[in-house]
Amino acid sequence: MEKHTIDLTINGEKYELRVTPNELLVNVIRETVGLTGTKYACGTGQCGACTVVVDGEPILGCLTLAVTVDGSEITTIEGLANADGILDPLQEAFLDTNAIQCGYCTPGMVLVGRDLLQKMPNPSEDQIRHHIKGNICRCTGYNGIVRAIKKAAG
Amino acid sequence: MNTRLISHEFEYHAPQTLQKALELLSRYGPEAKILAGGTDLVGHLKFGKRTPAHVIDIKKLAELKSISKGTVIKIGAGNNFKTVQDCFAGSIVYAGLYESIYSIGKTQVLNMATVGGNLANGSPKADTAPPLLTYDARIKLVSLNGERTLDLKEFHTGPNKTVMADNEVLTEIEFDALPSHTSSAFEKTARVGADISKITCAVTVVREGSVCKSCRIACGAAAPVPMRTPLAEEMMSDKTVDEELIDTVALQVGKEIKPPAWGRTSQGYRRHMVAVMFRDGFWRAWEEAGGEK
């Protein structure tokens, strides 16, 4: 299988990577690049744990061939805190409202929550719940997560 | 089954124009699969349901991304659900199409999956198929040999089967703009919110005073293909609307669908639910079109 060269900008850093066509974006980010904040869970697009933001839109890393995002700008959960390690306000809100238990869904939840706040600065509870519909959490019962997104919205 | 990786090996092509994509399809024929949003195909590659030697990526083709709303509404097949949802947000006439996409819900899937892929995949459960069927939508298929336009209702031929040839690309979905005093609605039953449909029903109503000029009804996950229910529609044509009529037609919709005896949802449940959903959808659309219950 012929390898392809792809250029990615991940959290502001440029990468030139060699990938085979059947490599999944989630695996390239976790294993080739070494950013393990992005999680692999169901592998079938049900749970949202593998969410990364590609060219401004959250997508599923487990259903994306890495070769198809050549030239893209990608943000993973590691890209939210600033250079001094100061967390994004939504990450702070997750901590404040105990929106985390095992933490496996958290990177995806935060990225999707942030996407909502960028598009809709003051969402209702229904709008929050609808926007995170593609992200499954098996610990918190979602209430803490909804509270966190509300809190970050101010 | 390992969902962590794709063990199947294939060659990847990212043509820059539709013409190049068609040439590749023509060259590789049945050995090629088209990749658009990937939400179906990549899963199929993982599970070995599809084993193409060549994957042809049409996701970025600008030629498939136009949307125009004139006397004919044309939607490029490469638009993702999010774009189409935003395009019809707030529409009373085309609320059914909007609601079908809203019901899919998952932010990430709406950003990835395309409206063309939803149809071309051939699933009888495709959520956008019922509303588009009630708009009498047509689809455009293009190959190196030329293009053809056919009614969406002739497109699906069985579960995961369509009339699309190996060398064709679905490029556009179009339908005539509907008259005023028209509204549409989409109803869906699924196990949990973001799940695949158990049964869906779309209704498009054209109102004239208290008379229903026409009511088009289409159901998904109701038969081997997304289907209209012509007998039920006939019962509504040019009729004064009252609850008794709608209850009678709802039972007819339940009788008319052809749900499979197998699968995750029983025939009886689907027949019962589709009647309930038709009633709910009809009254919502009727009231949106300015009618009274």
Q: What is the pLDDT of residues B134-162, one digit of tens each?
A: 999 999 999 999 999 999 999 999 999 99
Q: What is the 3-state secondary structure (H, E, C) of A72-130?
A: CEEECHHHCCCCCCCCCHHHHHHHHCCCCCCCCCHHHHHHHHHHHHHHCCCCCHHHHHH
How far, in Å, CA of B293 to CA of B278, rounded?
Answer: 15
Specify whether the CB–CB gap between A126 and A87 falls below 8 A: no
CA distance B236 to B245: 8
pLDDT band for B270, please (50, 70, 90 cuts). very high
The yes-or-no answer to whether A4-77 and A89-153 have a common fold is no
Coil, strand, or helix at residue B106? coil
| Structural domains in chain B, sorted by start | 11-57 (3.30.43.10), 64-176 (3.30.465.10), 182-288 (3.30.390.50)
- Chain B residues touching residue A24 (CB < 8 angstroms): 5-6, 42
Contacts of B59 in chain A (CB under 8 A): 68
pTM: 0.96
Asked if A68 lies within 8 A of B57 by C-beta distance, the reply is: yes
Q: What is the pLDDT of residue B105?
A: 86
Q: How far is CA B93 from CA A143, B10, B289, in A?
A: 36, 44, 8
Percent composition of chain A: helix, strand, coil (DSSP 3-state, to 5): 40, 20, 45
Q: Where are the domains of chain A?
A: 4-77, 89-153
CB contact under 8 A, A60 and B8: no
How far is residue B71's CA from residue B28's CA, in Å, rounded to a whole number?
A: 38
Separation in Å, CA B62 to CA B80, B117, B119: 12, 16, 19
Residue A151 distance to chain B (closest CA, Å): 21
Taking the CA of residue A137 and the nearest CA in chain B, the distance in Å comes to 14
Sort out which chain B residues have CB atoms less than 8 A from A2's CB and list them. Answer: 11
Whether residues B3 and A44 touch (CB distance < 8 A) is answered with yes
**Percent share of chain B, pLDDT over 70:** 99
Sign of the CA dihedral B117, B61, A114, B84?
A: negative
Residue with tokens 């393990």: A36
Choose the closest CB to A22 out of B10, B109, B111. B10
Q: What is the pLDDT of residues B212-264, one digit of tens each?
A: 999 999 999 999 999 999 999 999 999 999 999 999 999 999 999 999 888 77
Residues of chain A whose beta carbon is less than 8 angstroms from a beta carbon of chain B are 1-2, 4, 20-24, 27, 40, 42-45, 48, 51, 57-60, 62-65, 67-68, 70, 112, 115-116, 130-134
- Per-residue model confidence (pLDDT) at position B193: 62
> Does the structure show a pLDDT above 80 at B191?
no
The complex scores an ipTM of 0.97
Window 171-200 of B, Cβ < 8 Å to A: 193-194
Whether B1 has a pLDDT exceeding 80, the answer reads no
How large a percentage of chain B has pLDDT more than 90?
A: 91
Average the pLDDT over B48-73 and give the result. 96
Q: What is the pLDDT of residues A20-55, one digit of tens each?
A: 999 999 999 999 999 999 999 999 999 999 999 999
User: Measured between alpha carbons, how far is A2 from B266 in angstroms, rounded to an integer?
Assistant: 47
Could you tell me which CATH class the domain A89-153 is placed in?
mainly alpha
DSSP type of residue A50: T
pLDDT band at B197 (very low <50, low <70, confident <90, very high): confident
* B39 near A CB under 8 A: yes
Tell which CATH classification among 3.30.70.20, 3.40.50.12500, 3.10.20.30, 3.30.465.10 matches the domain A4-77. Answer: 3.10.20.30
Token digits of residue B35: 């990749």
- Which neighbouring-strand residues pair with B72? B176
Asked whether the beta carbons of residue A45 and residue B9 sit closer than 8 angstroms, the reply is no
Chain B positions touching A51 (Cβ under 8 A) are: 108
Q: What are the tens digits of pLDDT across the range B171-181? A: 999 999 999 89
